[in-house]
Amino acid sequence: MKLVIKDLQERQRYQTLPFATKFKYFFTLKKRRFFYMFLMYMFYKYYERVWNWMKNKRIRTINKYKRRWLSRYNPEAITYQTAIDAAYYLPSKLNAGDADRLGQEFIRVERQLKYGFSR
């Protein structure tokens, strides 16, 4: 109740003041908030590279903690890039017999490795 009464008294005090004084009080009381809003506007409008750097830094930090949580509580969900995916090699000529033999070789090696080709 005391906060409501105090708020009403503040409003009544400012109602009798001229507009220029009200305007000055408004900006001096909210100075820090408007300063930060102005800084964010300047970063977004004129310094987009800085703004994007801050945004990317935050996203990388979030992803780092997501990976850390996954590696701690659910390590089976992590898949690493395989050597075959990293090579980006597509053979120009490969017939059906070679593809079958290659697939059987991958299956044989996959069964021998503890974590397969993922690690």
Closest CA to 78 of 69, 87, 86: 69
Band of residue 116 on the pLDDT scale cut at 50, 70, 90: low
| DSSP secondary structure letter of residue 114 | S
Distance of alpha carbon 95 from alpha carbon 43, whole angstroms? 57
Judge residue 43's burial from the number of C-beta atoms within 10 Å of its C-beta, 0-12 exposed, 13-18 middle, 19 or more buried: middle
Helix H or strand E encompassing 88: none
CA 81 to chain centre: 22
Residue 83, C-beta contacts closer than 8 angstroms, at least 6 positions apart: 117
Read off the tokens for 40: 């964010």
98 versus 119: which is more confidently predicted? 98
b/e sequence 64-73, b meaning 16+ C-beta within 10 Å:
eeeeeeeeee
| Predicted TM-score (pTM) above 0.85 | no
- Condensed to tens digits (0 to 9), the pLDDT of residues 82-108 reads 655 555 555 667 777 778 877 787 777
